Amino acid sequence: MPIAIRDARPDDDPRLHAIHAAATMSSYGRQLPWLEPILRDPATPLEIVEWTIVAHDAGDLLGYAAVTAAHLENLYVDPAAQGRGVGAALLAEVEARVRARFDELTLRCLLANGDARRLYERSGYRVRETQTIVLHGRPLDAWLMAKPLG
Domain ranges, ordered by start, for the chain:
4-148
Q: Between 1.10.3720.10, 3.40.718.10, 3.40.50.620, 3.40.630.30, what CATH number should domain 4-148 receive?
A: 3.40.630.30
Is residue 52 within 8 A of residue 9, CB to CB? The reply is no
Q: What is the pLDDT of residues 100-134, one digit of tens each?
A: 999 999 999 999 888 899 989 999 999 999 999 99
**Residue 28 has what pLDDT?**
86
Residues 86-107: tens digit of each pLDDT: 999 999 999 999 999 999 999 9
Identity at 108, one-letter amino acid code:
R
Provide DSSP, 66-124: EEETTEEEEEEE-GGGTTSSHHHHHHHHHHHHHHTT-SEEEEEEETT-HHHHHHHHHTT
